[in-house]
Copies of this chain bind each other. A is one copy, B any other.
Amino acid sequence: MPTTIGSLSEFELIARITSRLAPTHDVLIGPGDDAALLRAPDSRVVATTDLLVEGRHFRRDWSRPRDVGHKAAAQNLADVAAMGARPTGLLFGFAAPPELPVSWAEELAEGLAAECAAAGAAVVGGDVVRASELTLAITALGDLAGAAPVRRGGARPGDLVAVAGRLGWSAAGLALLADPPADPADPAAAAVVAEHRRPSPPYPAGPEAARLRATAMIDVSDGLVQDLGHIAAAGGVRVELDSAALRPDPELAAACALLDGADPLAFMLNGGEDHALAASFRPGTPLPRHWRTVGRIGIGSGVLLDGSPVNPSGWDHFGRGAPG
């Protein structure tokens, strides 16, 4: 029988977790005091928080704890990047049932720490409590390095719309977990399932977009159409997508072939949780190659694909129409 977290005291469990964390030069005081102290070089701090609940945002039978840690950190660090900021720190609240194996908590912490390291950030504090439901509460902090924050509402008619990062992979991976292919070792399936378990947000593209004076930016967490709909609504403009520019990555196309020929474009438009960055830029902005232009901003409202309105069928985390 594995050792459970309920057999440890609060302080023993905290020690098991914090021993897996490493500071960066931004960390002035890390875990162990009443609060952490983090550098905020430009005298402002970007801050965002998310909750992940077992069975709703992750499944222990579908993802290993290290993957859950990566994903929980990634979705918050991507929100920091989507403001144009560099992630600096992460706080981690952990509500868990006492029968959870200690190794699960330890590997979760290793995943959080590794994802933070990939983004240049560090886990700086947290809290552990007993609960019936396994829940992670993540807060991420970041620094704008003097840049103006890139908000949702600044897109103007004529702007380019561009995306950095992957689209549709996570949703295709989720579909394959729910309906596994005949050959579970198929490399296309493995690639998108891995991306569902551990999204790979393009963190440096966030501050880069701020330097390129992006007019608006958002993290694609609920689906491209839904998230661009927020940019359209906030800016009082419409987003005009061009399907020819939304060519699926080869791995996504191959995964769709395993899903009875599902349409990759549907995953790219509506799939959530990839944590790509979508942004608008003034026309003529010299975009690095990893930003793919997928459309433009027009006068009007909503999101159009090849001239026709498209409705979001992305995720609503809480109420009507939400899964789970």
Contacts and interface: CB of A to CB of B under 8 A. Distances in A.
Given A49-B127, A91-B139, A319-B7, A151 B33 contact: yes
Interface string A205-242: 00000000000011100000000000000000000000
B36 A47 contact: yes
How many copies altogether? 2
Interface string A29-40: 100111111111
Contact of A130 (B46, B56, B95, B219): B56
Contact of A53 (B52, B85, B129): B129
A133 interface: yes
B48 A79 contact: no
Choose among A5, A82, A319 the residue with the greatest number of B CB atoms under 10 Å from its CB.
A319
A120 interface: no
A202 interface: no
Contacts of A7: 319-320
Nearest to A149: B37
A126 B79 CA distance: 12
A234 B36 CA distance: 16
A211 to B, nearest CB: 17
Interface residues on A, range: 35 or more
A58 to B, nearest CB: 12
Given A133-B135, A152-B34, A317-B10, A47 B141 contact: yes
Interface of A: 5-13, 28-29, 32-53, 56-57, 79-80, 82-83, 85, 89, 91-95, 98, 124-133, 135, 137, 139-142, 144, 149, 151-152, 217-219, 316-322, 324
26 contacts: A7-B320, A8-B320, A9-B316, A9-B320, A9-B321, A10-B318, A10-B319, A12-B319, A34-B80, A34-B83, A34-B217, A35-B48, A36-B48, A38-B44, A38-B47, A40-B45, A45-B141, A47-B124, A49-B126, A49-B127, A51-B94, A51-B95, A53-B129, A128-B318, A130-B317, A130-B318
Given A34-B218, A51-B94, A127-B317, 20 more contacts: A5-B319, A6-B318, A7-B320, A10-B317, A11-B316, A13-B318, A28-B44, A29-B151, A34-B80, A35-B80, A39-B43, A43-B43, A47-B124, A51-B129, A93-B93, A95-B133, A128-B317, A129-B318, A132-B132, A133-B135
